[in-house]
Every structure is written in C-alpha cells, then in structure tokens.
Structure 1
Amino acid sequence: MADNTALSSQSAKASQSVELSNRDGNGPVVILCEHAAYDIPELYQGLGLAPMHRDSHAAWDPGARAVAIKLSAALDAPLIAGRVSRLVYDCNRSPESASAMPERSEVIDVPGNYNLTPAQRAARVDAIYRPFCSTVTDILTARAAGNVPTVLITIHSFTPYYHGQPRAVEIGILHDADARMADAMLSHSHRLPHRNIQRNTPYGPNDGVTHSLKLHGIGNGLANVMIEIRNDLLTTPADEDTLVEELLQLIRPALATFGLGIPPQEGARDA
C-alpha cells in the first residue's frame, strides 16, 4: 500500500499529528501521551485494517488521553499528546525500530505497514514523529530557560488480556536507567492497598517501551516515569476520575521527595 507524501508543510504536519494543551503550565511536571488517539489519516487508507480493529487497543491506549488531561489540570502541567494512531507511527519508538510502524500488533495484522520503502518510512517519521519530538523539545527548552524544575511523566494504558492471558497488574510503574521517580512513587504504593501495582510490568525496558523516557527524560537529565493503567479500569469518566485521584496519591508525595510542590490549582490553560 503506497503512502501519499503530499504533506510537506511542517506546521501542517505538527497541527495534524500533535496536540499541545496547557502550554504555559508552570507545575513541576510535563506529561506525554504518545498513544492518545486512534485516528488514521485518510492518506493511509485505513492501513488495510478491519473496521473492528481501527479503534481497538492495538490502535491506541483507551482512556490514557482522558487521564493525561485530568492530570495536566491537577498538576498544572503541559501535555503533549499524539493525534495519530500508533499503528501509523508509534511516537514511543525510534525511527529505526521495526515496531515504530508494526506489521502486526499482538494478533492483528496491519497490511498498510507491509513492505514499506525507506522513503515511505521517512515520510511518516517526518509527518508524525519529528513534530511530536520537536514539540516536546520546545516545551522542555522553554522550561529550562525559565529555570522551571521538571519531571517527565508519560501516560499509557494496556489491555487486561494479552495473547489470551489475563494480566493481574492494574498499575505499572515503569522506568529505564533512571529509577528515581519510579522508586519514589512505589515507596508510596501502600496508599493504594486495593491496587495491584508493580514495577516494569506489564512491560519494561527490554520490551522497547522506554524510548520517550530515554530521549526526553534521561537525555535532558530529568527524573522520569512511565505510568501504565489497565484499560478496563478506565471505561467511564468516573473511572478516570478515580484513577487520577489514586495516581495523585503516588505522584504528589513522590514529587515532594525532589522538593517539588504543586501550585494551587487554577485550571489548565489552553495552548
């Protein structure tokens, strides 16, 4: 399946592929949500997916964007979210990674990703990945220039069954080489005794899921953490509110260990 590479304007690419909310948030956190959307732009012809798969967990992280937006408001944090399905390009993968444009996701084939040419892959990198990374870099650079302390948090969700096997974990606290924020959050997991909270589960560094943490967090010397939430816990707005309040019981005291408090909430500002 050939890609139409007509998108040439960098600003057009950014507006179509990246959502930036609460740009001027001054809290001590920047939030990323790479898998926030299941949209497949028309030029990719649905990637040849069956209709039932186009908005499935293979295409995005259900509930993750809603949680990220609510955390953004609670923490007065800028939020950078992807607008395009991770099956077109997964912004939590490097351009060199085969899983950046996967031919198969769990049990779902992605025909539109078969046998992509180097030029087709490069076009997707330019249209989706680079605008996402540039937006993150712009926010982090501005905060560094203003001496705003920053911890990087990425928000994801995962399916309760994988290859038919149930997953007991409900909240995963993931990290790569820098475990400071993860350690601090896990040290407060006793605050949520009803939750199954685990380190580097259901995924970990060996699964290639820490690209954003390494590139934007470790690469800039920032404490960082990836939060995974089982998506059957995020089926309603009330569910999302519950998980946000629970996550704040881990995030706020963890930030305090870095000497970082949260300013009084005034509501998030739009970009």
Structure 2
Amino acid sequence: MRAQDDTDAPGGMAPVIENAGGQSPVLLVCEHASNAMPAPWGNLGLTAEQTRAHIAWDPGALGLARGLARRLDATLIHAPVSRLIYDCNRAPDMAGAMPARSEVHDIPGNAAITPAERLARTKAVYLPWANGLHNLIAARIAGGLRPVVVTIHSFTPVYHGQPRAVEFGIIHDADPALARAILAAARGQTGLDAQLNEPYSAADDVTHTLRLHATPYGLQNAMLEIRNDLIATPQAETAMADCLALVLSAALTEMRTAA
C-alpha cells in the first residue's frame, strides 16, 4: 500500500509501505530502494549503465529489507525514485539532496537546477516521503507501540578507487545504544567484518532520517550498511536477510534485558 496524505504528488511519488500491520516494533526504512527516474525528470542525462550503478540507488538494499520485513514481521517503508532525483536521506538544504556530482560521475540534469526546480522536486518527492514516514511513526507511538527505526543501505566495495574491507557497517545518530548492540551481535554471530560508524558516520550527514524521525522521539535507531557485493543476487539477499534477522533479534533482546 502507499502512504496517503494531502501532500501526495501525482505520478506515484508517495512512499511505498509494505506489511503495514507488522507486529514487530522494528520499522524498516529504505531511502535508496529504487533507481527509477520517471517523468518529468527522465534519466538526468545519464547512461543506462550509470542509472544501474550505486550512484543512482543502493543495489540489493530493497531485497534485503523485504527479506528482513518477512522474517521479523516488520513494516517496511521505501522511497519510489532514484536518489539522484531526490535523496530522501538528505535535508532540502543539503547539496547532496539533488547532487550535481556523485562519486566520479557528473549528473547533467542536476548541474544547473534552479531554486524553482529544487522546490518542485522537494514537493514531489521529499515532502510526501517525510510526511509519510512521520505519520507512520506518530500513529504507532499514539497506538502505544514505540517503533525501533532501522534504515537499510548498501555501499560500494570500491570508493574513489579505494577498496573497502568493512562488510557490515552500523551507524548511529545521537544515541549509540542500538548500534552497539547490533555490532556486538554481529561480531558474535556472523563472520562479517562489522564496524561501528563505517564506512560513514553521522559526521558525513548520512543520518538525516534518524535525526529527523527517531532522535526527537527518543526512539531506538540505527542505520545498517551492507557492502553491495554481498547482496548482489536474490540468493545472497536471502542469505543476508537470514543472518541479519538473527542479529537484529539478538540486539533487541539485549536492549530489553538492559532496560
């Protein structure tokens, strides 16, 4: 189903919500789920290869998030368009919300975007996303279920020519408690090279969703980053979902025990 509110833009720009009645406290969020580039923006002057690359989305992240949602009986919300149209994990005043360059790639369709065009994209993509996620969280809190917000991302194995050894990154905003519990569970239960605040951290402005939607409510939260070569096929997504569902369950049990 899709989130419904009066900011929904025409053309299907509202966020997609799956398993809305999920009974888990975990709320899964996937801001970079899609590489879709619909009208009126088109491909932004990129090649087909570029639109399939990591600059346009997080490959494998949606498949992994869906696998986790099934295993945990969790609700999942995900963005319907490429982050190059609008990166839903960036505030409207951030250059990265509609980047003119991503990694080593110029984005021609974003190179000379006007304030009016930025506003139009913000209204079409970001506001429906932010309001949909806010409404989902607020409704759960009002119903007596405080959600645990977990965002799902993937990252490229090579960045600006430098290989990355880390396989599983756990990133936190102001409250590190859940991230540390997930890290401990991952190191105890998996063979993954798991690291805290790698390959990014809040200092890189990658925790916008957590900062806006979880921290103000005092909700437990974490951002999960999986190296995308580890979830490059449906079979790999399934195996990683099996693994991380156990990790998240163990971390939540630890949090409840410590409370």
Structures share fold, TM-score greater than 0.5: yes
Correspondent of 1:57 among 54, 70, 84: 54
Matched, 1:47 2:8: no
SS in 2 for 1:31: strand
Q: In the aligned structure 2, how far is the partner of 1:20 from the partner of 1:98?
A: 27
Distance between the aligned counterparts of 1:34 and 1:193, measured in 2? Answer: 25
Verify: 1:170 aligned to 2:172, yes or no. no
Q: Does the CA contact (< 8 Å) of 2:19 and 2:75 recur in 1?
A: yes
What is the DSSP-based 3-state SS (H/G/I as helix, E as strand, rest coil) of the residue aligned with 2:198? Answer: coil
TM-score (norm 1): 0.89
Partner of 2:3 in structure 1?
none
Q: Contact 1:20–1:80 (CA<8 Å) still a contact in 2?
A: yes
Q: Deviations over 1:74-129 (max 9, x none)?
A: 11111110110000100000000000000000011101001211111011111111
What CA deviation, in whole Å up to 9, does each residue of 1:141-172 have, x standing for no partner? 11111101311000000010001111000000
Say whether residues 1:187 and 2:184 are aligned partners: yes
Q: RCO higher in 1 or 2 (8 Å CA, sep ≥ 6)?
A: 1
Amino acid at match of 1:130: L
Q: 2:9, 2:123 within 8 Å by CA — same for their partners in 1? A: no
Give the whole-Å Cα distance in 2 for the aligned partners of 1:23 and 1:97: 30
Question: Alignment partner of 2:150: what SS?
Answer: strand
Tell me, yes or no, if the aligned pair for 2:9 and 2:125 is still in contact at 8 Å. Answer: no
Unaligned runs of 5+ in 1: 1-8, 261-271
Residues in 2 aligned to 1:57 and 1:151: alpha-carbon distance in whole angstroms: 27
C-alpha displacement of 1:13: 4.0
Aligned to 1:225: 222
**CA distance in structure 1 between the partners assigned to 2:228 and 2:93 by the alignment:** 28
Q: For residue 236 of structure 2, what is the aligned residue in structure 1?
A: 239
RMSD: 1.5
Distance 1:49 1:171 in 2: 29
- Could you give the per-residue CA deviations for residues 46-96 of structure 1, whole angstroms, max 9, x where no partner exists? 111122101111000000000111111111111110110000100000000
Which range moved further: 184-193 or 52-61?
184-193
- Whether 2:83 is the aligned partner of 1:86: answer yes
